[in-house]
């Protein structure tokens, strides 16, 4: 456990820690579901959803993390990323495209009446996500 994690744990009550774990498990399951759908639906990324799910599970449920990593269907995607093999180029292109579409729709259509600060925040998050994906090594 890292120092910042220990200090954060000391500031939270047991109920708050339990709530955070439950939320992380729920989000992990949701992103695992998206990853499963991405295996079968062309155009929907798989790797990024499974990486997010693994990140949620590693902080909340070692059992679910191990099941995901050792899954015969999904484990390869996460293991390749963790071993530094990166993301497939097509997954990067699709992920970045989805980020751009989602940020554009959110900023300009759904939140058209919202403040400029919210729109800038959404666009900034999209840029951060895009930069992160571009920095991940590419695999075949």
Q: What is the DSSP string of 55-90?
A: HHHHHH-HHHHHHHHT-TTTHHHHHHHHTT--EEHH
Contact 101, 74 (CB under 8 A): no
Contact 87, 133 (CB under 8 A): yes
Q: What is the pLDDT confidence band of residue 88, given thresholds at 50, 70 and 90?
A: confident
The CA distance from 95 to 111, in Å, is 22
Beta bridge pairs of residue 88: 139
- pLDDT tens-digit readout, 100-121: 888 888 877 777 777 788 888 8
If you search the block for the tokens 């339990």, which residue do you land on? 18
> Does residue 4 register a pLDDT over 60?
no
Beta bridge pairs of residue 138: 87
**How many other C-beta atoms can be found within 10 angstroms of the C-beta atom of residue 132?**
12
The CA distance from 60 to 34, in Å, is 19
- What is the pTM (predicted TM-score) of this model? 0.65
Which DSSP state fits 13?
A: -
If you search the block for the tokens 């666009």, which residue do you land on? 123
The CA distance from 104 to 12, in Å, is 36
- pLDDT tens-digit readout, 29-50: 999 999 999 888 877 778 888 9
Give the pair of three-digit tokens for residue 50: 């499974």
- pLDDT tens-digit readout, 45-63: 788 889 999 999 998 999 9
């Amino acid at each position: 456990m890292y120092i910042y994690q220990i200090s954060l744990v000391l500031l939270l009550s047991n109920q708050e820690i339990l709530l955070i774990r439950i939320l992380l498990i729920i989000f992990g399951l949701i992103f695992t579901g998206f990853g499963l759908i991405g295996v079968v639906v062309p155009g929907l990324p798989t790797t990024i959803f499974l990486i997010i799910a693994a990140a949620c599970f590693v902080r909340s449920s070692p059992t679910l993390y191990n099941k995901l990593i050792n899954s015969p269907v999904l484990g390869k995607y996460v293991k390749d990323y963790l071993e530094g093999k990166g993301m497939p180029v097509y997954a990067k292109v699709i992920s970045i495209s989805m980020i751009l579409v989602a940020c554009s729709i959110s900023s300009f259509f759904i939140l058209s009446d919202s403040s400029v600060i919210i729109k800038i925040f959404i666009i900034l998050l999209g840029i951060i996500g895009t930069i992160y994906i571009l920095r991940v090594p590419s695999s075949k």
